[in-house]
Amino acid sequence: MTRKQKRLSLIAAAGLVLAASAGLILYALNDRIVFFYTPSDLAKQVIGPGSRVRIGGLVDVGSVDKSALPIIRFSITDGEAKLPVVYKGSLPDLFREGQGVVSEGIVTSDHVLQADTVLAKHDENYMPKEVADVLKAKGVWQGGAPK
């Protein structure tokens, strides 16, 4: 092979790998990302059955039901709308009624979030950023910004 052919074959290999990975990335960005909503967003939004969503808000006071442990039921509220959540798993250490929470899962046809992930704030000063933004926008929560 001449120098030019060698270089061309290298460039072709590089192009192939890069094109394939770009394709994968674009497909995955279309298909494998999860959008974040508040319960009231969700009420307005049309979401295909079985698609994954992230819901953020406050744990509704008085809604936590542990009577069927290890299955836990609670509601997420943003002051306007509420969304019931069903979750089987470990709750984070900072999960509390009235505190910020983000939960990920699938919304069923009867408007319940079948969650497989529940995240709470990381420490006393910290509220999940998505939740803090939303709640401030709605005027529900004014708390100290992450210090």
- Which residues of this protein are in contact with another protein, per CB under 8 A? 1, 3, 6, 9-10, 13-14, 17-18, 21, 24-25, 27-29, 31-36, 54, 66, 69-70, 88-91, 93-94, 104, 122-126, 128-130, 146-147
Minimum distance, C-beta of residue 27 to another protein, in the bound complex (Å): 7
Q: Considering the complex, state which of residue 46 and residue 69 has its C-beta at the smaller distance from another protein.
A: 69
Q: Considering the complex, state which of residue 1 and residue 110 has its C-beta at the smaller distance from another protein.
A: 1
Hey, how many other C-beta atoms are within 10 angstroms of the C-beta on 68? 10
Hey, how many other C-beta atoms are within 10 angstroms of the C-beta on 80? 13
Q: Considering the complex, state which of residue 44 and residue 147 has its C-beta at the smaller distance from another protein.
A: 147
Minimum distance, C-beta of residue 57 to another protein, in the bound complex (Å): 13
Instruction: Please give the DSSP secondary-structure letter assigned to residue 78.
Output: -
Within 13 A of 136's CA, how many CA atoms are on the CB side?
Answer: 12
Report the alpha-carbon distance of residue 63 to residue 75 in Å, rounded. 6
> Contact at 8 Å (CB) between 101 and 122?
no
Q: Considering the complex, state which of residue 77 and residue 119 has its C-beta at the smaller distance from another protein.
A: 119
